[in-house]
Chain A
Amino acid sequence: MLNRNREPLIFESSVVGKVGMDLPHLDVPEARDTRPEHLRRGPFQALPSVSEVEVIRHFTRLSHDNYGVDDGIYPLGSCTMKHNPRLNERVASLPAFAESHPLSAQEDVQGNLAALFMLQEWLKEITGLAAVTLQPSAGASGELTGVMLIRAHHVAQGASRRVILTPDSAHGTNPATAAMAGYEVVEVPSAPDGTISFEDVVDHTGKHHPGLISLVETLGAEIAGAMITNPNTLGVFEHRIQEVADLLHGIGALLYMDGANMNALVGVARPGDFGVDVMHLNLHKTFSTPHGGGGPGAGPVACTAQLEPFLPRPVVVRDGSGYRMDWDRRQSIGKVHGFFGNFGIAIRALTYCLSHGGDGLRAATLRAIVNANYLRRRLEGTYHLPIQSPTLHEVVFNDALLSSAGVHTLDVAKGLIDRGFHPPTIYFPLIVPGALMIEPTESESKAELDAFVAALEDIARQAQSDPEALHRAPVRAPLRRMDETTAARKPVLRWTGFRPQ
């Protein structure tokens, strides 16, 4: 096994003049560098000088330190870190998909256009909405696209509305998106059951927070729309979502649904059927395409017929002669991504849909909910469950039962690393102090869930018997406890180890 404390950066292994291949002797006159002095490269080496074997060993050693969805459960709440089926990769790498050029003549790539069209149709059926754009490159990109559609709709009506409502349980991207689109964000408080509060809420300090009804009454036509995640970040289904939609529609406002948690609904409930006007889907969550560093994301947006004229162009359409890119959309908000979005990701998502079929997608949803509820039942009592409402695909615990021993959520997360598991999302949602937000997804077997439960139970025991050990964790990881405070206070954003030679 490895006997090295820290793998150096590949730049630190660089030796000037070292080459990884045997280049032939230069037998023509050396080209004269005619660039003006100020355009020439400085002493910084853009590429490290290392041999092939060093490159291979470097990345192989780094891969040993990695933890991904191919290693075990990856229970990040709201992230839906499910298995990426290999069939998706196989289909996406077919030469006709992988080697086609986005500038190809449309008649030469009818198959590609058909694939995009089919995925649009699947997503329309799954969301219960009338139209889809595949362009946005990830969730937040989809959110911004969706809010721009809402804005374009109001502008076309000649109305200027300034407010977007977001619940206090929202992902941070929701208020950030609304602000980026030029809206003022007004927060809607949560009721004790974790759902959006229709009534006003008085918090423990006596501070008064207007609920949805008051906000709609007082702000009225100032409200452009609301951004709501359903099920919300606590995993609780917003059971009054139709009433939320009706209240908004009553004042001419629209309902945006953050589809981050769509893994709890696919094949069971359609947002278009409960009043949603526009939403995004995370193909890299719900539709099993690689996530995070594993590949680009994709955040298609689905909307009602009312919003369709504003969709980013082009949109793939089918007419008598086959499939084509429709650019003739005068009211379009314009492009939100180069070419047609992340095409290879769309192919993976389509493969996921076709290989599962409608019944398979529904089965995956139900199993994701069963898995999360199995964890909830097994861990309740060992970890505190601050919100008692029924939950769907994820569950939020906190550290309230451990804090008397001086053990906090961060210690639990680090303890999981020592026990060979990736920690869940921690300290989010913000409305739950010390939150541990767990989403197992449908991919995990009972054996894997049981192993994860055993690790969390072991941590809870250690919190009582030896809390100091948890404060020191992780001790079995390649790196020990990070100094997150200094990292945030004095961030080093650029490697400065290079010294000109």
Chain B
Amino acid sequence: MYPAELKYTKNHEYLRPLGDGTALVGITHYAQEALGDVVFVSLPEPGTRLEAGEELGTVESVKTVSEIYMPSAGEVLEVNGELEAHPEYVNEDPYGLGWMVKLRLEGDLSPELLDVPGYEALITSESR
């Protein structure tokens, strides 16, 4: 459910460092389950630069609309255009086809990012 190679945020985004200074961002399994069926994902233009915690976009499900936040400072290089036709990828394959943006990371990774035990502790406390 929560791959070890990913970093997680308290807002339920994940960051997948690709090793070349870039990373993929999406939302976690827990987030997609809480949102329910995703019907639309709104993402920024490539070239947008954002600090950690700034609003990156929104995810709309049948139940609600929810913001996605930048896991760590960087510039948006690319957005996953496939999600426009296939928002269901976010539910079906959040860590694969459901990725949302590719970033060029800037500076150190945000110290707020969690590892798997840290994230699992967070969602356990939230579901209580």
A interface, CB within 8 angstroms of B = 204-207, 410, 427, 430, 484-485, 488-489
Residues of B within 8 Å of A484, CB to CB, are: 37, 62
Identify which of residues 29-44 in chain B touch chain A, using a CB-to-CB cut-off of 8 Å. 37, 39-40
Complexed CA–CA distance, A489 and B9 (Å): 27
Per-position contact with A for B1-28: 1 when CB-CB < 8 Å, else 0? Answer: 0000000011100000000000000000
A-B pairs with lowest CB-CB distance, top 7? A205-B10, A488-B39, A485-B37, A484-B62, A427-B63, A489-B39, A205-B11
- Beta-carbon contact of B62 and A485 below 8 Å: yes
Residues of B within 8 Å of A204, CB to CB, are: 126
- Beta-carbon contact of A206 and B62 below 8 Å: no
Residues of A within 8 Å of B63, CB to CB, are: 410, 427
Per-position contact with A for B98-128: 1 when CB-CB < 8 Å, else 0? Answer: 0000000000000010000000000000100
Residues of A within 8 Å of B10, CB to CB, are: 205-207
Complexed CA–CA distance, A205 and B126 (Å): 10
- Beta-carbon contact of B11 and A488 below 8 Å: no
For this complex, 22 residue pairs linking A to B, each with C-beta atoms less than 8 Å apart, are A205-B9, A205-B11, A206-B10, A206-B112, A207-B10, A207-B11, A207-B53, A427-B63, A427-B64, A430-B64, A430-B65, A484-B37, A484-B62, A485-B37, A485-B39, A485-B62, A488-B37, A488-B39, A488-B40, A488-B60, A488-B62, A489-B87
Identify which of residues 69-85 in chain B touch chain A, using a CB-to-CB cut-off of 8 Å. none
Q: Which residue of A lies closest to B87 (CB)?
A: A489
B74 → chain A, closest Cβ, in Å? 19
Q: Which residue of B lies closest to A430 (CB)?
A: B64
- Chain A CB within 10 Å, residue with most, of B10, B11, B62, B64: B62
B72 → chain A, closest Cβ, in Å? 15
A417 → chain B, closest Cβ, in Å? 17
A77 → chain B, closest Cβ, in Å? 16
Complexed CA–CA distance, A484 and B37 (Å): 9
Complexed CA–CA distance, A205 and B125 (Å): 11
B78 → chain A, closest Cβ, in Å? 23
For the complex with contacts A430-B65, A488-B37, A488-B40, 9 further pairs of A-B residues with Cβ separation under 8 Å are A205-B9, A206-B10, A207-B10, A207-B11, A427-B63, A484-B37, A484-B62, A488-B39, A489-B37
- Chain B CB within 10 Å, residue with most, of A204, A430, A489: A489
- Chain B CB within 10 Å, residue with most, of A204, A205, A207, A484: A205
Complexed CA–CA distance, A485 and B9 (Å): 27
Residues of B within 8 Å of A485, CB to CB, are: 37, 39, 62
Q: Which residue of B lies closest to A427 (CB)?
A: B63
Complexed CA–CA distance, A484 and B36 (Å): 11
Complexed CA–CA distance, A206 and B112 (Å): 10
Complexed CA–CA distance, A485 and B37 (Å): 6
Complexed CA–CA distance, A427 and B87 (Å): 21
Q: Which residue of B lies closest to A484 (CB)?
A: B62
A384 → chain B, closest Cβ, in Å? 15
Asked if B88 is an interface residue, CB under 8 A from chain A, the answer is yes
Complexed CA–CA distance, A410 and B63 (Å): 9
Complexed CA–CA distance, A295 and B69 (Å): 42
Residues of B within 8 Å of A489, CB to CB, are: 37, 39, 87-88
Residues of A within 8 Å of B37, CB to CB, are: 484-485, 488-489
Residues of B within 8 Å of A206, CB to CB, are: 10, 112
Q: Which residue of B lies closest to A208 (CB)?
A: B53
Complexed CA–CA distance, A205 and B112 (Å): 10
Residues of A within 8 Å of B87, CB to CB, are: 489
Complexed CA–CA distance, A489 and B84 (Å): 9
B53 → chain A, closest Cβ, in Å? 7
A255 → chain B, closest Cβ, in Å? 26
Complexed CA–CA distance, A87 and B65 (Å): 42
Residues of A within 8 Å of B40, CB to CB, are: 488
Residues of A within 8 Å of B39, CB to CB, are: 485, 488-489
A489 → chain B, closest Cβ, in Å? 5
A206 → chain B, closest Cβ, in Å? 6
A29 → chain B, closest Cβ, in Å? 56
Complexed CA–CA distance, A488 and B62 (Å): 7
B82 → chain A, closest Cβ, in Å? 13
Complexed CA–CA distance, A167 and B88 (Å): 31
Q: Which residue of A lies closest to B91 (CB)?
A: A485
Complexed CA–CA distance, A207 and B60 (Å): 21
Complexed CA–CA distance, A430 and B63 (Å): 9
Complexed CA–CA distance, A485 and B112 (Å): 34
Residues of B within 8 Å of A205, CB to CB, are: 9-11
Q: Which residue of A lies closest to B125 (CB)?
A: A204
Residues of B within 8 Å of A410, CB to CB, are: 63
Residues of A within 8 Å of B11, CB to CB, are: 205, 207
B50 → chain A, closest Cβ, in Å? 15
B63 → chain A, closest Cβ, in Å? 5
Complexed CA–CA distance, A204 and B40 (Å): 26
Complexed CA–CA distance, A484 and B40 (Å): 13
Complexed CA–CA distance, A489 and B11 (Å): 25
B115 → chain A, closest Cβ, in Å? 16
Residues of B within 8 Å of A207, CB to CB, are: 10-11, 53
Complexed CA–CA distance, A450 and B112 (Å): 51
Residues of A within 8 Å of B65, CB to CB, are: 430
Complexed CA–CA distance, A484 and B60 (Å): 13
Residues of B within 8 Å of A427, CB to CB, are: 63-64
Q: Which residue of B lies closest to A426 (CB)?
A: B63
A491 → chain B, closest Cβ, in Å? 9
Complexed CA–CA distance, A484 and B62 (Å): 7
